[in-house]
Amino acid sequence: MSTPDVSPQLRLAVLTLFPEMFSAITQWGVTGRAFESGLCQLHLQDPREEAADRHGTVDDRPYGGGPGMVMQAPILAAALAKARAVAGENAKVVAMSPQGTPLDAALVRSLASEDALVLVAGRYEGIDERFVTRHVDLEVSVGDYVVSGGELPAMMLIDALVRWLPGALGHEASAAEDSFSEGLLDCPHYTRPETYEGLTVPSVLLSGHHGEIAGWRRAQSLRRTLDRRPDLITMEGLSEADRALLDKWDLLQK
């Protein structure tokens, strides 16, 4: 597995009306440690600071009528200028949007190789299109459904990015072994006890034979991916070696 081309330090900023939500990634687990140890930096910029009135207004009614409110372009632009001052003037601007490019492993890895990113979390009906036209480099979607704000999508993206930063997962685990890193789903995992409700651990995993174990794991990954995600691989597309591996572990047929 090749080592991805990732920046040693990633500077992230997010434009968000709800900065407190981001404690979900700054305080816990793998991402919490990455921020604490300085592997990456997170700056939260609240567009509310740019509001011109004392009510902190950042949105207005849509031209042409219709439900909901729209985030105003000049307010977001002012917040972006502040975020750039922290993250870097050359930061790529990524708006979270259900209309964006679907987030996948390849997109995560390409974004992980940037030095600096500013993510834009929308709220209400979304953001004024002219802000997108003028300032946004890329729109990213977390799936074909709509959630009520860009914060959770932005956190999904940040968590996925941080896993690729060297050192974020520690030496005992590697993002390169997870699902999708090689275009395959991960193999099944087992831990103690050896028997659970009559189900035993596959004996090869107890054999101590690392070559056999690696082969079995790859065969399992191939089989799972063929069964669950025929959009990722097909039997016809497999190498001779992979087909032989499936055959060896009796996984050629579903």
Q: Which stretch binds ligand SAH (CB under 6 A): 24-32, 36-44, 130-138, 142-150?
A: 142-150
- Please, are residues 97 and 120 in contact by the beta-carbon 8 Å criterion? no
User: Quick check: is 163 catalytic?
Assistant: yes
CB atoms inside a 10 Å sphere around CB 107: 18
Catalytic residue among 115, 139, 177, 178: 178
Q: Which residue lies nearer to ligand SAH by CB, 7 or 141? A: 141
Contact 137, 105 (CB under 8 A): no
Would you call 226 exposed, middle or buried from its count of C-beta atoms within 10 A (0-12, 13-18, 19+)?
Answer: buried
Pick the closer one to ligand SAH by CB: 120 or 184.
120
By beta-carbon proximity to ligand SAH, the closer residue of 81 and 147 is 147
Entry field: residues in the chain: 254
Distance between CA atoms of 177 and 49, rounded to whole angstroms? Answer: 42
Q: Which residues contact 217 (CB under 8 A, 6 or more apart)?
A: 187
On whether the CB atoms of residues 26 and 42 are closer than 8 A, the answer is yes
- Closer to ligand SAH by CB, 156 or 204: give it: 156
Binding mask 88-127 for ligand SAH (x = CB under 6 A): --------xxxx---------------------xxx-xxx
Is residue 103 within 8 Å of 142, Cβ to Cβ?
yes
Spot the catalytic one: 123, 163, 217, 218.
163
Contacts of 182 (CB under 8 A, 6+ apart): 1, 176
Q: Binding ligand SAH by CB under 6 A: which of 10, 25, 34, 153?
A: 153
- Choose the binding region for ligand SAH from 11-19, 33-41, 85-93, 149-157 (rule: CB under 6 A): 149-157
- Known catalytic residue at 178: yes
CB of 34 to ligand SAH, least distance (A): 22
Chain residues that interact with ligand SAH, rule: CB under 6 A: 96-99, 121-123, 125-127, 141-143, 145-147, 149-150, 153
Residues annotated as part of the active site: 98, 125, 163, 178
